[in-house]
């Protein structure tokens, strides 16, 4: 809690809350109700309304015309664009109120574009970006970029797509293998034989595929809007090949992030342990073949990006 001299309130604003952080600014015609909490160094622009059951972190920007209703949490360093619209009741009726409002969480570093609409009870992940005018009906993964109505993932922050076919070139120490900017992630060109009878692509475990496989699985018939993966493994290696169609693969080591387009059956990508992997933008005919170094073990999965980042930091 700060004293009045620690933050600025415009003479034409109404700030009823005493829980306002140091160096925050509340501009003209904004209205903050008594129960709201606002962190330090925030910027609350003209005509913003903030209800009671609201928690807002530090260094948050709320541009003009935003209303933040009961049940909304906004973490540190979030940008909320002009006239972005929050909702907190899926089935609103006049003078009929739910017992509790669904909790909507905007995670640290996320940005919401102008005039977007956020449905109740969802989470916008760390550093995610919501495009202007998007209607977000489901939770958005960390670092994802979503646009449209309903909002769909079109990319990931700091992960410009590149064709694996263009990237894979012979490496002097391992022919057909190319390092990437993501730690220990490598692209592979598998052996291919083509003649009048057709084409054949082959790989050998512990040679062209850099581990012995104990399991494989196929992913197919994926709706193009769906995202798979969104996890890391503690000890399991994976090797991915799009045997038909195309799939976008994002690899993230906690510091560097890169996106690859697998679209030929003689291309593969090796995702070692402690690599956050995402697969999305499946073509309608896509079939993704995945070799795994270990049998399925639920305990080997890291499904929370915050936990993944924490473990990476612990590893140094």
At residue 165, the pLDDT reads: 60
Radius of gyration of the chain (CA): 24
What domains does the chain contain, in order, with CATH numbers? Answer: 161-315 (2.60.120.10)
Active site residue 237: no
**DSSP reduced 3-state for 127:** coil
d(CA 174, CA 253): 22
Structure tokens at 83: 């006239």
Please list the residues that pair with 286 across neighbouring strands.
none
Report percent pLDDT > 90 for the chain. 85
Q: List, for residues 121-150, the tens digit of each pLDDT value.
A: 999 999 999 999 999 999 999 999 999 999
At residue 4, the pLDDT reads: 52
Other CB atoms closer than 10 Å to residue 199's CB: what's the count? 11
At residue 223, the pLDDT reads: 87
At residue 154, the pLDDT reads: 94
β-bridge pairing 215-220 and 85-86: unpaired
Flag whether the pTM goes above 0.85.
yes
Q: Which of 231, 237, 270, 294 is catalytic?
A: 231
Structure tokens at 305: 């990006």
Are the C-beta atoms of residues 153 and 136 closer than 8 Å to each other? no
Rounded to the nearest angstrom, the gap between the alpha carbon of residue 95 and the centroid of all alpha carbons in its chain is 37
Structure tokens at 186: 């490598």
Which residues contact residue 58 at a Cβ distance below 8 angstroms, ignoring those fewer than 6 apart? 21, 39, 40, 41, 42, 76, 77
Are the C-beta atoms of residues 286 and 263 closer than 8 Å to each other? no
d(CA 95, CA 297): 50
d(CA 10, CA 15): 9
At residue 137, the pLDDT reads: 96
At residue 163, the pLDDT reads: 67
Q: Could you say which residues of the chain have pLDDT below 70?
A: 1-5, 163-175
Phi, psi of 315 (to 5 degrees): -75, -15
Structure tokens at 74: 């906004």
At residue 164, the pLDDT reads: 60
Residue with tokens 């903050």: 32
At residue 167, the pLDDT reads: 53
d(CA 147, CA 154): 7
d(CA 169, CA 141): 32
Q: List, for residues 190-223, the tens digit of each pLDDT value.
A: 999 998 899 999 999 999 999 999 999 999 999 8
DSSP 165-220: HHH---BTTBTTEEE-SSTT-EEEE-EEEEETTEEEEE--BTTTBSS--SEEEEEE
């Amino acid at each position: 809690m700060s004293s009045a001299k620690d933050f600025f309130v415009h003479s034409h604003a109404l700030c009823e809350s005493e829980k306002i952080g140091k160096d925050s600014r509340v501009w003209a015609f904004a209205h903050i109700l008594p129960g709201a909490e606002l962190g330090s160094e925030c910027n609350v622009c003209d005509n913003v309304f903030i209800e009671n059951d609201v928690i807002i972190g530090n260094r948050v920007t709320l541009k003009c015309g935003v209303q933040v209703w009961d049940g909304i949490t906004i973490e540190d360093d979030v940008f909320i664009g002009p006239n972005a619209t929050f909702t907190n009741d899926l089935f609103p009726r006049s003078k009929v109120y739910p017992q509790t409002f669904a909790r909507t969480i905007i995670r640290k570093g996320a940005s919401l574009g102008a005039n977007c609409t956020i449905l109740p009870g969802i989470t916008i992940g760390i550093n995610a970006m919501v495009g202007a005018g998007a209607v977000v009906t489901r939770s958005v993964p960390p670092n994802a970029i979503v646009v449209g109505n309903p909002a769909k993932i079109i990319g990931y922050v700091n992960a410009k797509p590149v064709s694996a076919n263009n990237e894979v070139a012979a490496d002097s120490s391992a022919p057909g293998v190319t390092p990437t900017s993501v730690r220990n992630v490598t692209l592979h060109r598998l052996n291919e034989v083509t003649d009048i009878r057709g084409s054949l692509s082959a790989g050998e475990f512990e040679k062209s595929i850099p581990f012995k496989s104990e399991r494989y699985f196929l992913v197919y018939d994926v709706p193009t809007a769906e995202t798979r993966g969104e996890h890391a493994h503690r000890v399991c290696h994976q090797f991915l090949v799009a045997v038909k169609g195309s799939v976008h693969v994002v690899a993230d080591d906690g510091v560097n992030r890169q996106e690859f387009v697998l679209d030929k059956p003689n291309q593969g990508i090796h995702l070692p342990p402690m690599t956050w992997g995402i697969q999305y933008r499946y073509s309608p005919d896509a079939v993704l073949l995945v070799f795994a170094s270990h049998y399925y073990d639920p305990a080997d999965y890291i499904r929370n990006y915050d936990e993944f980042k924490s473990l990476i930091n612990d590893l140094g």
